[in-house]
Amino acid sequence: MKQFSSDVLVIGSGPGGAMTACTAAEAGRDVLLVEEGSHHAVDSAPSFSLAEMDQKYRNGGLNVTFGGTSITYLEGRCVGGGSEINAALYHRPLEKTLREWQAQTQIRGFEPEALWPHFEAVEADCNVNLVRGGNGPASALLRRGAGSMGWSTREIARFWNYDGDAPIAGLSRGRQSMTVTLVPRAVRAGARLLPDTRVLRLLRDGKRVTGAVGERTVNGEREKVEFRAKDVFVCAGAVQTPRLLRRSGFTHNVGDTLQLHPMIRITARFREPINDLGYGVPTEQVDQFKPELTLGCSYSSIPHLALWMGASLGNKQARLRDWRRTGIFYVAAVGTGVGRIRDLPLVGEPLIRLPLTTADLARLGEGLLRLGQLLFAAGAEELSSPVDGAPPIRDVAALEGVARVLPQGRMPVSTIHIFSSVPMGEDDARTGTDSFGLVWGCDNLRINDASLFPASPAVNPQGTVLAVARRNVMHFLHG
């Protein structure tokens, strides 16, 4: 069995793990960063392609929760984690959200004014920028439709390095993911990166974790590995972190409070071309109804259009020939359901039970109604229905009929935002860690990813993951 030792063992190289490894290594600590997936260049496959899904997604993107309505979710499984596959949108959470978290689980040192410097550091380190030279016709359409309804919109910044003023310049290489920013910095500071290595179980001796055991794939062959470390950070994401903890005997408030942002997507066809893939992901969002609801538009390639048009929409080939006049639009809601994560040991996959509640369905229905009203106001001729087997929607009256009662189990609901499975705070009856991610009952095991959120951030969580991770590792280093 091959053995590795380090001062700090970081498990998972997504935003939380990359920030942890980089900050600790630059402080002079001996860091080993372990990642289950492989190491791919940011432009190793076209964004949102099948090749990228095969390379960088867990199970090719086919992950699902169980409940009255199944919810598909995405996880990155590569060096850089979710930062390599998401839309790279950046938000700061509302100050109200941070104060609610602080009160909910009694988090020490979590005042917004104490957190803003960490967000500022993330914005500088990861090149958070607005699109230069225009944001594309789909975003313009969203602004126009919202304006006609009297609703506010906002362009969302991205983790992106735009080359010059042309919006399409550098789209394949511009993503400022962890493999471009913090992971290389960590390696330059002396951290060792070990991809293709799955940690199976943490090793525990009383109130300390002494290391971990796992397996590594080298040249197609698996070998057993053992890690020894003075301090361990688990940063494997809101699903894989609690799985590893539970397999290792840590179960107190672990994996019992998973939350997510449920999303529904529809397609809309217009009179004029509105779909220009050269602009990448449209970054305009309707913020009139935040934090409960977000309305926006998605990357709308032909395969994605085919997926979100729904299986029952007739004459799909003809509709796909109109792809330049068609786009994908979404409703994202703050979910109210709380899920549990458990292992299925015989198949090596998680079992996630998470209900889509009546309140969730009502909120998604409200969002669908508002989104459809906006799209018709902007000139849409036809909307696909999110309900399986339902006909296209061609006027507001039909839209109201669909949105009024969304049925359980008859819609493709998805999410890319999952969190809150090992919440932090000083209320140990409700949390899995203290205010800085230290697992209860252990002196040297810490969590530093989206698992720590007490509740929904109500925005894309990557910026918050990075800022909170920076805060926590700085506390670990300096107290």
Q: Beta strands of 249-303 (E only): which ranges?
A: 259-260, 263-270, 284-286, 293-298
Catalytic residues: 417
Q: Which two tokens stand for residue 14?
A: 């997504």
6 within 8 A of 32, measured Cβ to Cβ: yes
73 within 8 A of 65, measured Cβ to Cβ: yes
Tokens 């006909």 appear where?
A: 391
Which of 139, 180, 187 is closest to 160 using CA atoms? 180
CA-to-CA distance for 250 and 246, rounded, in angstroms? 5
Tokens 């929760």 appear where?
A: 65
Q: Which two tokens stand for residue 129?
A: 């920028």
Give the SS3 label for residue 127: coil
Rg of the Cα trace of the chain? 22
Instruction: Return phi, psi of residue 14, to 5°.
Output: -70, -165
Amino acid identity of 78? C
Instruction: Return phi, psi of residue 310, to 5°.
Output: 90, 150
Q: Angle between the 462-478 and 112-125 helix axes, to the nearest 10 degrees? A: 110
Alpha helix positions (H), 189-329: 237-247, 302-309, 316-321
Give the SS3 label for residue 322: coil
- Residue count (the chain): 479
23 within 8 A of 477, measured Cβ to Cβ: yes
DSSP 8-state secondary structure symbol assigned to residue 45: S
User: Where on the phi/psi map is residue 336: left (φ > 0), alpha (ψ -120 to 50), or beta?
Assistant: alpha
CA-to-CA distance for 270 and 55, rounded, in angstroms? 34
DSSP 8-state secondary structure symbol assigned to residue 92: P
User: Where on the phi/psi map is residue 249: left (φ > 0), alpha (ψ -120 to 50), or beta?
Assistant: left
